Structure 1
Amino acid sequence: LKMLCTEDISMAVMLMFCSEGDNIPDAFALVYPLNDWLHLISEVNVFLSRLNWRVPPSWMLLFGSGLPPLLF
C-alpha cells in the first residue's frame, strides 16, 4: 500500500464482510454496485443481471455433488 501511494498509483477496494457458508448472495450483492460503477453489464439487462453473470463452475458443487441414485 505504501508503494502504491509513493508511486501515485490509483486503486479502489471493495470490501464486504460475509458469514460462513453459502456466500453466493453476498457475491451478487457486491457485484451490483461494481456494475453500477464500471458498467460491466448494460442497464437494459439490470433486472436480469443475475442471469447474465458467469459464475465459477465450482459453485455448482458448493454443497457437494449429491449422492449417486444407485445407492438407493
Structure 2
Amino acid sequence: VLKMLCTEDISMAVMLMFCSEGDNIPDAFALVYPLNDWLHLISEVNVFLSRLNWRVPPSWMLLFGSGLPPLLF
C-alpha cells in the first residue's frame, strides 16, 4: 500500500505508537491528544474541556469481560 501511495503521489501522515498487551485505553488517549492538537478535532474554545469530551466507546467496556462478581469475595 505504501509503495502504491508513493507512486501515485498521494500525501499521507502516520501516527504510530507502540503499546503493550492488555488495556490500551490510556494509550488511545495519549495518542488522541496530540492528534487533536494537530487536526483541531475539538475546537480551541473547548480545549480546556477537551478531556471531558473524549469518551470511550461502550464496546471497549467488554474487552476484558465483565469482571468477577463482588459476592465471590
TM-score range, shorter chain: 0.7 to 0.9
Shift in Å at residue 31 of structure 1?
A: 0.5
Q: 1:47 to 1:62 in 2, by over 3 A?
A: farther
Could you tell me how far apart the structure 2 residues matched to 1:70 and 1:19 are? 31
TM-score relative to the length of structure 1: 0.79
Could you tell me how far apart the structure 1 residues matched to 2:25 and 2:71 are? 30
Shift in Å at residue 14 of structure 1?
A: 0.4
RMSD of aligned C-alpha atoms? Answer: 2.1
User: Structure 1 stretches of 5 or more lacking a match?
Assistant: none
Shift in Å at residue 71 of structure 1?
A: 7.9
Q: Secondary structure at the match of 2:50?
A: helix
Shift in Å at residue 70 of structure 1?
A: 8.6
Aligned counterparts, 1:1-72, within 5 A = 1-67=2-68
Query: Percent same amino acid among aligned pairs?
Result: 100
Task: List, as ranges, runs of 4+ consecutive aligned residues in structure 1 with deviation greater than 4 Å.
Answer: 67-72
Task: Render the CA deviation track for 1:16-70: whole Å, top value 9, x for unaligned.
Answer: 0001111111000000111011000012322332321243221122331245689
Higher relative contact order, structure no. (Cα contacts within 8 Å, ≥ 6 residues apart):
1
TM-score relative to the length of structure 2: 0.78
- More displaced 10-residue stretch of structure 1: 9-18 or 60-69: 60-69
